[in-house]
Structure 1
Amino acid sequence: MSDELIQLAQSHLQNIPLQVISQGAEAIVFTTKTHPYLPTSKDSHTEYIIKYRPPKKYRHPQLDATLTKHRTIAEARLLQRLTNIPEIQSPGLIALDARNGIIWMEKVGYELIDYDDKISSLKNWLWRYNDNQEKALTEEIKIALEKVGCMIGKAHVNDVIHGDLTSSNIIITEAQEACLIDFGLSYQSALPEDKGVDLYVLDRAILSTHPKYAEQYNEWLMAGYERGYGKDKKSLIKLKEVLKRYEEVRLRGRKRSMLG
């Protein structure tokens, strides 16, 4: 990880202790015990997440600044909207510095590494049982995956497209509740095609990380997803259209794989 990028983030967050969690193509994620507005107690164990989009040197500076500001505001708006959808657990927005590409949010197991056994990404949580088929296909796993699917269904009902639905971006808590994180590629859309693609990304993610049990895992996820739409006639019509597009996207994906 580039020390230059970390120093650049620190220049915008002076006197804020930062600990790097992860770095992706678009952003660096830090954790801190300092709140942007409230005093921090020495005995406080509360942590917050800071997501920083550093400048991209390959882009024209003015274009890069505009894109960074736009994407940061879009992500913050989506996080704020999700707080009004009780069925979807996600990080709460605390503060925003759009010009410098910084979002300050609540920590809900955002870390992509497991230093706390009480909080785990779905990917790592499932990997714990990967070598034991008896444990990998228990009712406990089924219930958790159905909860994940239901939450994604609720997101799609509200026209929220995650954009990067991998098992690393889904958190399973100690109480086996599901939480969505990392909305950097998220957007709003009512199009069944966009929802079908979102589901296909998750389908492929499960297949690539848990191939031994992918068929059963995806079946449980989809059972929860369908439940997330509810049972009223209008919602069921929308669900049918999304599932149709999802199957079409899967078929296109298989054809691409066969053709290489």
Structure 2
Amino acid sequence: MSQEIVSKVSSYLTPHVPLNLIAQGAEAVVFTTNVHPYLPAKDSSNKSYIIKYRPAKRYRHPLIDRSLTKHRTLSESRLLAKLFLIPGLKVPQLIACDVYNGYLWIEFLGEDLPNNGGFSNLKNFLWMFASSDPYDPIVKETLIKVGQQIGLLHWNDYCHGDLTSSNIVLVREGFQSWQPYLIDFGLGSSSNMVEDKGVDLYVLERAIVSTHSLFAETYKEWLMDGFSQVYRGNGSNGEKKLKEVISRFQEVRMRGRKRSMIG
């Protein structure tokens, strides 16, 4: 299946666009390339870009499939464009999109940042420290930053929809500093509902617990510390909204626990 998709994408992009398959999920396939969709090859060959492609689903009627592909690709591209303009919020920049064929060209994170020394997703980052010092000050600082990014997202009334530790990318800046970016907004939305925000937080909590259960309680505290800082920085209104989100988060958590007990 992977080779079939690669062949299809290659034929769409013409043979002069090299592709490197880096991820394949239920919804989309992700490639890297060193060719910009608009710039001449000589001006972009020293950089990398992300191509996200939504392949056709054979179990759906072709008309329904094309409609869903167009809607979801357009929705994600619009959301990314809006989020990129929010001060302080770190998301990859949208470069181009083809909503009819299900393609997004997105910034490859990290290459243009000063003192770049690599990148990782949050899941692998925490595994990296688990065997040495899971409570390293770098881990605390980074998780607080992650919480701040989620806080900024929610404060501006947007939700991620699939907020796992794999969808948070950390770009290394300098020797001991990591900048978190939120990625993959295929299920994202504009929402001021505390239920949606509570679900976002619960999904991330479950991701942390499932992969780093020994340290999860401390990690959750650091995440919520950063998250709360954003809301509290907006005065009494922020304090009020923070209480509402945390209250709903606890309700969502209790519902999740009951479902787990029932099976």
> Normalising to structure 1: TM-score of the pair?
0.93
CA distance in 2, matches of 1:43, 1:91: 17
Alignment equivalent of 1:253, drawn from 250, 253, 256: 256
SS of match in other structure, 2:209: helix
Change over 3 Å in CA distance of 1:236–1:43 after alignment to 2: closer
Q: Shift in Å at residue 204 of structure 1?
A: 0.1
Structure 1, unmatched stretches of 5+, are 111-115
Which secondary structure does the structure 2 equivalent of 1:154 belong to? helix
Scaled by the length of structure 2, what TM-score is found?
0.92
> What are the equivalent positions in structure 2 for 1:13-162 lying under 5 Å apart?
13-14=13-14, 15-41=16-42, 44-108=45-109, 118-132=118-132, 135-162=133-160
- SS for the counterpart of 1:85 is coil
2:243 corresponds to: 240
* Structure 2 partner of 1:188: 190
The question of whether the paired residues in 2 share the 8 Å contact of 1:109 and 1:171 is answered with no
Aligned length: 253
| 1:108-144 superposed Cα distances (whole Å, 9 cap, x missing partner) | 169xxxxx96111111111012123xx1102211111
Q: Distance in 1 between matches of 2:110 and 2:58?
A: 31
Q: Could you give the per-residue CA deviations for residues 64-85 of structure 1, whole angstroms, max 9, x where no partner exists? A: 0000000000000011001111
On the 8 A contact 2:35/2:45 being kept in 1, the answer is no
Alignment counterpart, residue 229 of structure 2, candidates 227, 240, 248: 227
What is the CA deviation profile of residues 38-91 of structure 1, one whole-angstrom value per residue up to 9, with x for unaligned ones? 112288421000000000000000000000000000000011001111211111
User: Counterpart in 1 of 2:164?
Assistant: 166
Instruction: Write out per-residue CA displacement over residues 173-230 of structure 1, whole angstroms, 9 at most, x where no aligned residue.
Output: 1121111111111111100000000000000000011111011001100110011222
Measure, in 2, the Cα distance between the counterparts of 1:149 and 1:157: 12
CA distance in 2, matches of 1:93, 1:100: 16
Cα RMSD between the aligned structures? Answer: 1.6
Code of the aligned partner of 1:23: Q
